[in-house]
Amino acid sequence: MHNESARITLAAELYITVFAAAASAAAYAALSIFGTRGTVCITASAAVFFVITAVSLVYAPLFGRSVKHSLNGRILSVSYGVLVKYSVSIDFTRVVYITRIRGPFEKITGASVLEFSFPGGCVFMPVGSDSAAEGYISRWKQRTL
């Protein structure tokens, strides 16, 4: 099993931090609309930011560590998730096409997400390194193209 948890953890933490900033701004705006005093608005929005960030400090490493993927013969196995575990095995020869998705934080950390589309659905697989992603793509190309 590959495990590039550190990079995935960092990317997840960065995304949750952005989410925390957006949530705190929304909280500030909502409290301001209802006429709450300025200091209370700032305190509440800061609290929202710190609570979400603190949760991310626990959640992101757990999520990063939970990501596991392997290709044994024809079977691609992917599993991840903290509260809800997601685990799937698919026949790699049935994969019709692959999409590689990289957001701004994936570019910084070197992680990426591979989307394997096959008849009947698709599987998203977080991958911790470029080489691992390239490895999957090249193996798929060898079998398909």
Partner 1 sequence: METTHPVTVIRKIYKKAALLLIPAVRGAYHMISDGTYGFSDWMSGVWLDAAVLAAAVIFSILNWRSVKYSVSPGRIILKKGVLFKSERILPEKRITSVTCHRPLLFGMLGAESVYADTEGGSTKRSDMSIIIRSSRTRDFYTSPRSGKTYRPRVHEVLLLSLCVTDTPASAVYAFILMNRAGKILGRDIITEFISLAAGAARYAAAVVLAVEILGILRNFLYFSRFSVTRYGDSLYFENGFFSKTRSMCKTGAVNYIDRRQNLASAVLGLGMVFIQCTGYGKARKKEALLVPAAAERSAEACIKMLLPEFCGRTENCGAKAGAHCLRPAAVSFLRYVRTPVALCVPVIIACISVPHFAEVILLILTPPLALLAAVRATAFRRAGIFSEGCEISEKTEGCEKTEARIKSKDVMLTLCYYKGFSIHTVSFRASKISHVKIKQNIMSRNKNIYDVTVYTCGEGGHRHTVRGLDIDREDPQAYITSFPFLQGVFF
Q: Which residues bind partner 1 (CB under 8 A)?
A: 95-104, 107, 117-120, 122, 137, 141, 144-145
Alpha carbons 109 and 126: distance in angstroms, whole number: 12
Closest CB to partner 1 among 41 and 114?
114
**Polymer length of the chain:** 145
CB 76 within 8 A of CB 69: yes
Minimum CB–partner distance for residue 128 and partner 1 (Å): 18
Going by C-alpha positions, the residue among 59, 66, 49, 56 that lies closest to residue 14 is 56
Closest CB to partner 1 among 19 and 118?
118
Closest CB to partner 1 among 82 and 113?
113
Closest CB to partner 1 among 46 and 137?
137
For the range 35-40, what are the long-range contacts, defined as Cβ-Cβ under 8 Å and sequence gap of 24 or more? none
Strands 86-91 and 75-80: antiparallel
Q: Which residues is 124 bridged to in the sheet?
A: 115
Minimum CB–partner distance for residue 54 and partner 1 (Å): 26
Minimum CB–partner distance for residue 116 and partner 1 (Å): 8
CB 128 within 8 A of CB 111: yes
Minimum CB–partner distance for residue 44 and partner 1 (Å): 27
Q: Helices 5-33 and 38-66, interaxial angle, to 10°?
A: 160
Closest CB to partner 1 among 62 and 135?
135
